[in-house]
Amino acid sequence: MAAQNLAWFYLVLAGLAEIGWAVGLKYTEGFTKPLPTVLTLAVMSLSFWLLSLAMRSIPLGTAYAAWTGIGAVGTVILGMVLFGEPRDLARIGCIVLIVGGVVGLKVLAGSSPH
């Protein structure tokens, strides 16, 4: 069970790193700014590496869906905070649905063999 918990820890870190590189893409301005580009590529590599570690124990579909869900939710929230993107109720409702899906995948991952 400890290996499974460690895999989910890696997956959460991978999702957080995905948020970092997604936001970093905005700062690269189409890869025209060298420092943001290098940092974004480094965080992107870290995210993929952590995802690959998580997939040693977590099924592919679950890991990928959770990774993208964490990244999507975090990126939308940071878009609202950093870039003044819309904060309407419908967008927030969609975020809640994504979070529910990721939590559901985590709960169900423990109940099915892979």
Written as one string, the DSSP assignment of the chain is: -HHHHHHHHHHHHHHHHHHHHHHHHHHHTTTTSHHHHHHHHHHHHHHHHHHHHHTTTS-HHHHHHHHHHHHHHHHHHHHHHHH-----HHHHHHHHHHHHHHHHHHHHHTTS--
At residue 108 the predicted structure's pLDDT band, cuts being 50, 70 and 90, is confident
What pLDDT does residue 1 have? 61
Two tokens at 23?
A: 């936001």
Residue type, 114: H
Domain count, the chain: 1
What pLDDT does residue 105 have? 84
Mean pLDDT, to the nearest integer, of 51-56?
97
Question: Could you tell me which of 108, 72, 82, 65 has the C-alpha nearest to residue 27?
Answer: 82
What pLDDT does residue 95 have? 94
More confident residue, 3 or 70: 70
Q: Is 114 contained in some domain? A: no
pLDDT, tens only, 56-97: 999 999 999 999 999 999 999 999 999 999 999 999 999 999
Which domain range does residue 15 map to? 2-109
What pLDDT does residue 110 have? 65
113 pLDDT more than 80: no
Q: pTM for the complete prediction?
A: 0.86
